[in-house]
Structures are given as C-alpha cells and as structure tokens.
Amino acid sequence: MEVAPSIPSVDLSPFFAEKGVIVGAAPTPDQIECGKVIDAACREHGFLHATGFGLSKELSEQVFNASKDLFQSTDKDSLRPWHASHNMGYIPDRTESHNPSRPPEMKEAFNVQFPPAHTNDFRGTPATFANAAQELQSVIRLASKRYAVACALALGLPIDMFKKTLCDFDLCTLKYLHYPPCRLEDTGIETDKPIRIGEHTDFGAFTFLLLGENGADGLQIKPVAMGAVGGDAGGEQDGWLDVDVPPSGAIINTGALMARWTNDEWRATAHRVIVPSVEAASRHRYSIACFVDPDSTAMVTVHDKFVTADKPCLYKPISGLAFLKMKLAEVENPKKSVI
C-alpha cells in the first residue's frame, strides 16, 4: 500500500487571536497563509492535520480516559440505546455500516448531541464522562466557528458565510469511537486489508477527528483526483493512501455539504479504516469524530462566485435539516438516486 508522505498540516492559532478577520479587520499575514494551506489541502486532499484549535493536552487526556472507561464498562446495557430519531446514545459493536454494501463495522460508538437544542442522557456513563463531554463541546463550538471563518477566507467569500449557520449546533454530533481488538480474518471481505469502517464520505460541512494514543492507525483516504467511492463494495482497493500524522491534534476533512456549498470546488473525500497489521488488530483503537453541520434552519446556497458559463450551478438551495434527511435517505436506499 502506498504511504502518503503526509497530509497537509496547519496551525489554526492565527484564527484564535483577537485580531484580523476575527475582529472585522483585514486578515493578518498568518491568517492569509493559513487560508492558503486550507484551500490547497481541500482541493488536493480534502484532509488536513490541524493543531492550535483550543484543545489542551489535559482536556484531550480527560475525554479519552472517559471514553476508555465508558467502553470498558461491563454494564453497557444501562447506557441509553442509540436511535435515529434522536441520534444519541450507545451503538453496539458491529451494528452500524457507513457503507451499506459492507458488513457491519468492527466498532462501537456513543453519540452525544449539543445543548440546549438537545438534552443528553448520560445514564450509565462513567462519573467523569458528562463533564468531559461538555467541556469538549465548548472547545468544538469555538473551533468550528473559527475554522468556518478560515474556510471563508480561504475561498475568498464573505467572512461570516459559514459561521452564521453555526448558532444552535442542533445537527452537530460528538461520536466517541472504540475499535476492539479483532482478527485479520474477521471481515471475510475480498480486499487487500480487513476493513473496520467501509468506504464513505461524511455528510456535513466538515469533521474534526480527534486522535487517541494510536493516532490515525489504519485511516486511509482516496484523494479527489482519484475519484470518489462509497457505493457498491468491490473494485475499490486501488488508489488508497495511508494517513500518517502525529497522535495529537485533529484531522479535519470536508464533507458532502461543503462540496454542495462550493459547487464542488471543494469535494468530499472518501475514507475508510482498515486493519493494517496483526499488531494493529491486537490493539484497542479510540477516536472522537466531531461532525459539524449547519443549523437545521440554515440555508445552504451555492455562492455566485462558483457559478460560471463553463460551470453552471449544480445544486439547489437546501436547509441543513433537509440536506441531512436527504443523505440519510441515500444511506437507507443506496440504489435510489436522491436529487
């Protein structure tokens, strides 16, 4: 398997200083340079490794320790079970499939939604879990808004274009993930490596993937230039690149909604999680995916900048909630085209 030399890395701290575009002034040189890195990454890879977005080492350790305590519990029956109607709670191992053409995935998860739009039920979670989750949500709220500003600058758009859609956070989710040890032969799929999460692209605007002690072990991407996948399984082994980054910070990737917003200037990038080796199969793997979607009532409309005589508008205006429902319908009915 070809190894990516590294996905682009960016320090987002210029957007966490109260200066430049953050206070309504001209962008600072550091903000301009950061925007260039983001734009190049989103056009070429769709993925980047980010630091400097407000997550302290201490809080990172707290949330991952709480996650380990949660998934190591012997009383998971006491956890609130996940349901599509509320998208909160516990998802048992091998009951979810990002790619409907793949078998159930070798992972378990716990979804947390953002208040005040939602009230999470933390019954059965460790004593430290709720507080750590709430502190992490505060970090992600600010990080999402500041990254939204950085994206607007990177694309040469009105600075508040994306940020103004992130007020309620009523469609955003923290997904705590645990990949238990497995056997290499467990999937029974005809691929070069066993797959823990099947090929897919994320729904929303962007995702912050927080990395545990094993980093991005097994994460692979298929860069935009190599085309998108995620439909029928099979014939998808070629063109995948291993993501090699430090086990700290976050990986940020663009989702299908950002592709829609930009008329495919930035496209969602397919990714999956494999089991790269016997050693990796023997380890517990933890990560936390922070899915950032615009508010349910926010309208997503292609900006005029991305519409030309050679490239007509590909997408009609749609609300955040309508888009999410559309993508869920596509997952439930993968053979049916949803316009």
Per residue in 254-271, pLDDT (tens digit) is: 999 999 999 999 988 888
Which residue from 148, 140, 88, 152 is spatially nearest to 119, judged by alpha carbons? 88
Using an 8 Å Cβ cutoff, are 250 and 55 in contact? yes
Which residue from 13, 16, 66, 12 is spatially nearest to 41, judged by alpha carbons? 12
CATH of the domain spanning 9-332: 2.60.120.330
Of 49-58, 176-185, 191-200, give the lowest mean pLDDT range: 191-200
Q: What percent of the chain has pLDDT over 90?
A: 62
- pLDDT for res 149: 98
Please, is 272 exposed, middle or buried when counting C-beta atoms within 10 Å of its C-beta (0-12, 13-18, 19+)? buried
pLDDT digits (tens, 9 = 90+) for 205-237: 999 999 988 888 889 888 755 444 444 444 456
12 pLDDT above the threshold of 90: yes
pLDDT digits (tens, 9 = 90+) for 41-89: 998 878 999 999 999 999 999 999 999 999 999 899 999 999 878 889 9
Mean pLDDT confidence for 17-26 = 97
**Alpha-carbon torsion angle 45, 322, 332, 258, nearest 10:** 0
pLDDT digits (tens, 9 = 90+) for 91-108: 998 887 767 667 778 899
